[in-house]
């Protein structure tokens, strides 16, 4: 038998002026008789101001546990969900600046340096330890994103610099990584710089697309791939164009709005809902095209005063998190938590529906979702709400509710996750060893 199949290199890109479009995983990238090889992804999604614990805790243990009200949006991916109770960061529990200390300890188990100046200090975070390994073969080592403004300066929390509030990702002990909140900036980082600012505005007025600049490469690729790959490419390019059009629409609206928007970049939507959905769609594209395998996303920042009137919570998020066991405040806090979870769940559903190698993208991912405070009213960094989702290329078993003794080191679980993604560490913050059962 003669084998004639020619494989396309995984790092093939469609190139044009000011653009480089990475490709999704195609059958044509697998050599004849070779098994599809999946890439491991890792992601951390941070939400602020704790959780409404009565509405967070699931009922039951093992595979028979029931999703709680806050976790209910995850019904479609429950088979890949692990809810973990009892973990905490005792080394930063108690004292001043609780929001800052707890958020910075979330992926480190380490206290950050108290300073209002530029001499901030923490330690390398879990996401960046993973990125050192998973980012070796990708266009971007990692991607850091946020929804709220990333330019706040000065003192944000009882003597702690606002640098700490702007990110939870650190490449080195003295190098915090800025989190980008402008969808346009993220899009250009993923797919090219798009030329000069004036050229981008000209393209915007003409509704031109990044896909126009790679049209010749696209035509050549279409001749080399089979019918199933053509369908995959069509869906991928449609997704890229749809995200691009949404960004262009926002920019047009902001450019023509009679309302003064201040320092808000033109690519940021007016509504929180659209902003978050757009950011998750960009993250989806980054994973589908294997542009990066590590993402850190701050869905909202600690102490945020954002209200949510469109879900029945006109009060500030931070205010309702200080519930004092008031049933009304606990219920309103739970509404915010559930809404955030629903946005995350839509993203997970899309990852699960997208083929990738011998499975789907979620099969080949480990996602950690949570917050640095267990009880926002007490500012406690113990008994943290921890959610893991994904198959981790067969290393993570889902459909479980795990309970550990309160004050179990959060860093022990992080050590276990790092080993699963091929980046084992001997020590992380206050860790005492890997966590059994994860």
Q: How far apart are CA 334 and CA 356, in angstroms?
A: 34
d(Cα 270, Cα 212) in Å, to the nearest integer? 28
How many helices and strands in the chain, by DSSP H and E? Answer: 13, 17
| Stretch 139-158: mean pLDDT | 87
Q: What sign does the dihedral 337-343-348-353 (CA atoms) show?
A: positive
Q: Which of 12-21, 31-40, 428-437 has the lowest mean pLDDT?
A: 31-40
pLDDT of residue 203: 54
Whole-angstrom distance, CA of residue 392 vs CA of residue 40:
7
What is the C-alpha separation between 290 and 31, in angstroms, rounded? 18
Annotate 189-245 with DSSP letters as a single string: HHH---S-HHHHHHHHHTT--HHHHTHHHHHHHHTTS-HHHHHHHHHHHHHHHHHHH
Longest pairwise C-alpha distance within the chain: 74
| pLDDT tens sequence across 313-367 | 999 999 999 999 999 999 999 999 999 999 999 999 999 999 998 999 999 999 9
All structural domains of the chain: 23-181+268-420 (3.40.720), 192-266 (no CATH)
Asked whether the predicted pLDDT for residue 196 surpasses 60, the reply is no
* Residue 83 phi, psi dihedral angles, 5° rounding: -100, 125
For 104-126, how does the pLDDT look when each residue is reduced to its tens digit (9 = 90+)? 999 999 999 999 999 999 999 99
Question: Would you say 86 and 408 are in contact if contact means Cβ atoms under 8 Å apart?
Answer: yes
Identify the bridge partners of residue 402 per DSSP, sorted by sequence position: 84
pLDDT class of 198 with cuts at 50, 70, 90: low
Q: Beta-carbon neighbour count of residue 129 at 10 Å?
A: 23
């Amino acid at each position: 038998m003669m084998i004639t199949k020619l494989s396309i290199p995984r790092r093939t890109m469609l190139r044009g002026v000011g653009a480089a479009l990475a490709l999704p995983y195609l059958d044509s990238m697998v050599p004849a008789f070779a098994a599809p090889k999946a890439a491991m992804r890792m992601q951390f999604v941070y939400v602020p101001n704790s959780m409404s614990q009565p509405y967070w805790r699931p009922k039951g243990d093992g595979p028979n546990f029931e999703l709680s009200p806050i976790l209910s949006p995850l019904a479609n991916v429950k088979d890949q969900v692990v809810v973990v109770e009892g973990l905490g960061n005792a080394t930063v529990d108690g004292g001043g600046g609780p929001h800052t200390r707890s958020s910075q300890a979330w992926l480190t188990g380490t206290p950050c340096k108290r300073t209002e100046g530029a001499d901030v200090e923490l330690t390398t975070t879990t996401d960046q330890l993973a990125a050192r390994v998973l980012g070796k073969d990708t266009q971007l080592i990692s991607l850091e994103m946020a929804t709220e403004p990333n330019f706040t300066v000065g003192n944000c929390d009882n003597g702690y610099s606002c640098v700490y509030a702007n990110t939870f990702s650190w490449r080195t002990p003295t190098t915090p990584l800025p989190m980008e909140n402008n969808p346009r900036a993220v899009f250009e980082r993923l797919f090219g710089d798009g030329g000069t600012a004036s050229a981008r505005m000209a393209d915007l007025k003409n509704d031109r697309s990044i896909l126009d600049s790679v049209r010749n490469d696209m035509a050549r690729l279409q001749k080399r791939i089979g019918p199933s790959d053509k369908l995959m490419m069509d869906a991928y390019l449609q997704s890229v164009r749809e995200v691009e059009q949404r960004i262009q629409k926002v920019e047009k609206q902001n450019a023509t709005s009679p309302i003064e928007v201040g320092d808000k970049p033109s690519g940021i939507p007016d509504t929180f809902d659209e902003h978050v959905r757009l950011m998750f769609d960009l993250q989806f594209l980054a994973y589908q095209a294997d542009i990066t395998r590590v993402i850190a996303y701050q869905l909202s920042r600690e102490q945020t005063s954002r209200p949510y009137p469109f879900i029945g919570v006109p009060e500030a998020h931070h205010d309702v998190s200080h519930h004092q066991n008031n049933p009304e405040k606990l219920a309103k806090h739970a509404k915010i938590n559930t809404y955030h979870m629903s946005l995350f769940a839509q993203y997970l559903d899309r990852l699960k529906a997208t083929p990738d190698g011998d499975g789907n993208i979620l099969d080949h991912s480990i996602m950690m979702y949570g917050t640095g405070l267990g009880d926002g009213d007490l500012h406690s960094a113990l008994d943290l709400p921890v959610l893991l989702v994904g198959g981790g290329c067969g290393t993570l078993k889902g459909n479980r509710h795990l309970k550990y003794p309160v004050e179990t080191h959060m860093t022990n679980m992080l050590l276990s996750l790092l080993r699963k993604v091929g980046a084992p560490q001997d020590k992380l913050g206050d860790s005492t060893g890997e966590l059994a059962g994860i």
